[in-house]
Structure 1
């Protein structure tokens, strides 16, 4: 029988993690607000002085014979506030807010992992046997992946775009998908529950971060093409080219993991139902997701395809993931009807 004490502690840890994530999300929002353009004085290149009409004369004293000259090198003429990630600096307040927000994100992630672990201990099985447990485990994987990447790559600017969806997922898990702790259905009692579902959770976590980066990329590119009169924190973020490459790399990792998920699911289906493929709604949508992301990979690698259009396919792939989780699991009846909501 499930341990009601551990289930209670698990739920308490989940509420605590949500409270910590809420504070972290607010601090990430304040961090972005504090990232408004800060004018810095730096040396202007000859090309920039030509663009603004500044004099481009050479020094009055002649250069020594044999000395090399480089027209693109900087001299001492100052210029201010050219919009761009390299020309804008974060204020001490913004850096402090980012550090505290990331620390709270780590705390919330660890508390959430503890909640997932206690749920598993309460029922003595892997804690992803229904939609509630999958949602909380997926949120934990997403938060952990973000915290690790943010610490290594200084991705504090992405925090609100990741912690926000994580918090929303936990809210849905508690108030829409909550299921009482119980034993597994016979078909789920397999080692493939660990292999297949863990990889699926990791894939969804990576896809979620890639989705967030993709949305930021589209906004950033639009602002680069139509520069605003009043720059804001968006102009302090990496360039659209860098964001697009980052999203592609994340989607590639997620796609590899999802491919393994699809193969592992087929192997598990053969062992459980004596058939690798049964056209079950869950199987079909898992394959649809794989096809959409495969189309994105192909479009991204095909010459002539605009990156923005390819990114649209990737975002459509994430929409398919949401449909697979929130629609197929609830409203479609099949061999994978393990949501716990019916």
Structure 2
């Protein structure tokens, strides 16, 4: 099998596994939400029947000459129990949420491994690092996004971001393999530099971090709509249209029980802030490395090329977000929308600027 075919096969397989992982992460959210709802309902029922639950059991069950554990379980109000007669070993059953979590992690990490194989095969086929054009940037950036999430969720309980991250990676790989795909070619003269490894690699890593942060910020805004509820229609036509959209989101989020498994908006904001802070530091190095590379390649650090301008715009927006949140007290929706605006600028820099603006970075 040629490296080109190996790359395509493994990347398509990775996309399929990410889709499976997205479904499994979604199922886990639903199961966790159901368990929390049932726990609340059970707690309410228990509080209303405290006196009855405290009374001694009227019936005792004897199995194999009597089982004190079973009687104690019945007396404590347990609804089910298993009697150990010494012939079998009782093992705790995994909940539906745990099974879905195992399936999601298995599919995601398997997809991540195949994704890595596809990237290596692409690099071997092209003879250089696989991030010299839009297709290669897409397949590498989506890999970094999933890898960042995989590393973080192994240390912290951020599994609520799994469906969004793997869903984004599935779409990105699908678009890359169908719309943006390009045959392997040699590097253009301007790209034949070690700065390609440094500058673009840092940009890809920061983009992956920003993707995970954007998922957290989107959930944060949806949580605000869910807790605020519907609003009264007032004002002009545009304002009423916006209120209708927000009321629709509020109704949808209230019907979607899986939001019970999503943390509060405040916790999601803290998660997004940490990720955006890391991504901003990396993006700062991206802009600086790009300026140094520009001086080596074109004899100037800054030339107001469309790509350079948009990279600076992204830096300014994320800097404004961090500054406003840390020094001006911009918490909640205002900082969240500023973060979303910065991420939209990042996406536009990759799509609109690359496809429709002519400049020294048109090969990107």
- Relative to the length of structure 2, the TM-score reads 0.76
User: How far does residue 292 in structure 1 lie from its aligned partner after superposition?
Assistant: 0.7
User: How far does residue 127 in structure 1 lie from its aligned partner after superposition?
Assistant: 0.8
Q: Could you say what the CA RMSD is over the residues aligned between the two structures, in angstroms?
A: 2.2
1:184 aligns with 2:194: no
Aligned to 1:121: 124
Distance 1:40 1:267, change over 3 A: same
User: How far does residue 231 in structure 1 lie from its aligned partner after superposition?
Assistant: 7.5
Aligned to 1:19: 16
Distance 1:273 1:248, change over 3 A: same
Aligned counterparts of 2:359 and 2:43: Cα–Cα separation in 1: 66
User: How far does residue 235 in structure 1 lie from its aligned partner after superposition?
Assistant: 2.2
Aligned to 2:214: 211
Report which of the two has the higher share of helix.
Answer: 2
User: Can you give the 5+ residue segments of structure 1 that lack an aligned partner in the other structure?
Assistant: 53-90
Aligned counterparts of 1:317 and 1:304: Cα–Cα separation in 2: 18
Aligned counterparts of 2:158 and 2:164: Cα–Cα separation in 1: 11
1:311 aligns with 2:336: yes
Structure 1 residues 259-308: Cα deviation after superposition (integer angstroms, max 9, x where no partner): 00000000000000000011111001000100111111111113443421
Structure 1 residues 123-167: Cα deviation after superposition (integer angstroms, max 9, x where no partner): 221111110001000011001111111121122221111111111
Q: Which has the larger radius of gyration?
A: 2
- Relative to the length of structure 1, the TM-score reads 0.81
1:290 aligns with 2:289: no
Distance 1:304 1:127, change over 3 A: closer
In the comparison of the two structures, how many residue pairs are matched? 293
Aligned to 2:200: 197
Aligned to 2:150: 147
Aligned counterparts of 2:359 and 2:329: Cα–Cα separation in 1: 41
Aligned to 1:28: 25
C-alpha contact 1:300 1:307 (8 A) present in aligned 2: no
Name which of 246, 270, 274 aligns with 2:271. Answer: 246
User: Can you give the 5+ residue segments of structure 2 that lack an aligned partner in the other structure?
Assistant: 49-93, 230-249
User: How far does residue 24 in structure 1 lie from its aligned partner after superposition?
Assistant: 1.0
Aligned to 2:163: 160
Name which of 5, 9, 33 aligns with 1:8. Answer: 5
User: How far does residue 230 in structure 1 lie from its aligned partner after superposition?
Assistant: 6.3
Structure 1 residues 228-280: Cα deviation after superposition (integer angstroms, max 9, x where no partner): 87672212222211111110010000000000000000000000000001111
| 3-state SS, counterpart of residue 114 of structure 1 | helix
